[in-house]
Amino acid sequence: MPIYEYECEGCGQKIEVFQKMGEPPLERCEACQGRLVKLISNCSFQLKGTGWYLTDYKKKGSEEGKGEEKREASKEKSASEDQET
C-alpha cells in the first residue's frame, strides 16, 4: 500500500498516510480543518545489481555458442558410455 504525503495550507503541518490507490485523497487537516495538498516526493525504490541495463544482458551469440558446446560434450559423453558397455 502506497504512502502519500500531504501538507496543510492552514497550519503547514505535513502528514504521511497509508492509502489504497483507489481511495479518494484527503481534503481536510485533522488539526485545523485547513485544506490539504498532496505532495510529490521522491520514492526510496532503487534498482541494484546486475541485469538492469542493456549492457548487463548476455549477447545472443555467446548463448548459442555455449549451447553447441554443451551438445557436443553430451554427444561425446554418450559415445564414451556406449563404448564401455
Q: Is residue 48 in a domain?
A: no
Evaluate whether 54 touches 29 at the Cβ level (below 8 Å). no
Cα 75 to chain centroid distance, Å, stands at 41
Evaluate whether 24 touches 60 at the Cβ level (below 8 Å). no
Q: Is residue 64 in a domain?
A: yes
Q: Is residue 51 in a domain?
A: no
Q: Which domain covers residue 14, as residue numbers? A: 3-39
Counting the structural domains of the chain, the total is: 2
pTM of this prediction? 0.50
pLDDT tens digits, 24-42 = 999 999 999 999 999 987 7
Q: Which of 14-18, 26-30, 37-41, 74-78 has the lowest mean pLDDT?
A: 74-78
